Structure 1
């Protein structure tokens, strides 16, 4: 059974799994991240245009999912990279997206 086309023109939702909470969601509600190698450290970079090269992983843009993914060491496994990871760009993007209470 197919769903009626939405405003995107797709017949069905494209689902991805958040590496933090492990819940499946439509990919438009998740942030794609990629690993970018810079000198001796790998930087986890948000891919807002969804077009950067390389292996991607998806994450809800919430502090809770970021914390869960960091605690579970999910970024290294999902992106298939080893060594230290710099999450400052991703953390800053999530902090900006989260409304202040």
Structure 2
């Protein structure tokens, strides 16, 4: 297996140089800038898993690689409900559209 990226603190500020998050689909750690952040937005009949492309939406977020494989893995493992701490039916249509567009 390859070595996972590790964030190292900068000498000047002590802050991390690279922010690393885990994809809820494949469970691999990657730089935050390569992942899509998603948040749960309460809809009328179901909770909508909404992509947060700017990273500014309020609420608990989860991260996913913009790959169809990771979306399928996360859906099959029911990772969205656990990661976002929501129950009930989830609407993944808007996320699937963004993932399919970025994969092309």
Shared fold, TM over 0.5: yes
Alignment correspondent of 1:17 = 22
Q: How does 1:53-64 map to 2 (within 5 A)?
A: 53-64=58-69
Shift of 1:11: 5.4
1:26 aligns with 31
Q: Stretches of 4+ moved more than 2 A in 1?
A: 1-4
Aligned counterpart, 1:7: none
For structure 2, the residue ranges without an aligned partner over 5 or more in a row are 1-7
C-alpha RMSD over aligned residues: 1.6
Q: Where does structure 1 lack aligned partners over 5 or more consecutive residues?
A: 5-9
How many Å apart are 1:12 and its aligned residue? 1.6
TM-score (norm 1): 0.87
Pairing 1:73–2:78 present: yes
Question: What does the per-residue CA deviation read over 1:42-92, in whole Å, with 9 as the maximum and x for residues that have no partner?
Answer: 000000010000000000000000000000000000000000000000000
Distance 2:25 2:72 in 1: 7
